[in-house]
Amino acid sequence: MTSTWGAISSQGHGVRGLRTMSINRIGAHSLVFLSFFCTLSLSANCPCDCRGPPKVECPCSCTCEAGQQAVTQGNITSCAECGVDTYGDGNGPCAACPEHSTTNANRGQTFCICRSGFTYITDPVTNTAVSPLQCADINECQGNNNCHAQATCTNNIGLYACRCNPGWRGDGVSCNNINECTDNLQNCEKGPPAATCTDTMGSFTCSC
């Protein structure tokens, strides 16, 4: 049996030059998400009606808060929150989060964070997240994972898998020695000559 696991990304950063923050500055192992849950009428000139007053060319211009975008329906332009896994600064349409990043199911966001199992790529000079955000796979097999000492860790994109080694049985997180002698998984008695099976950790031996 194999156990498959993901890793939690511990830091979140903005994209496209928007405001960023390091989770380490707030608290270890904390995930902080900034939300801007605004109504459609927060902006000074929203919603607007191109029929006036004053009458203007349709659609009328509308200034939105960060985390929103202008949406026109008929003659009315109003502000609407950016959807899940999209972000915006209020100056244009909401954009999709970069590959392997998310808003963690929140709406009205101004930035995205790397998904579980991924980490942000940093600028080697400034040691801060590159903009726009880029997320790289975390190789949990080279770092923290919960595979058993007698299991093999296999890294996959965004997650990893644990599989018990030959001679061991379990889900990869917990592995127990297989007694080949009592489970009849040995050929000692086939001979000739017949031999005595002795179980060892992860294997067995045959002795005459």
CA distance 12 to 103: 10
| 156-201 residue pLDDT tens | 999 999 999 999 999 999 999 999 888 888 888 776 777 888 889 9
Q: Which of 82, 81, 120 is nearest to 100 (CA)?
A: 120
Give per-residue pLDDT as tens, 26-76. 232 323 333 333 333 334 578 888 888 888 888 888 889 999 999 999 999
**What is the DSSP secondary structure assignment for residue 169, as one 8-state letter?**
E
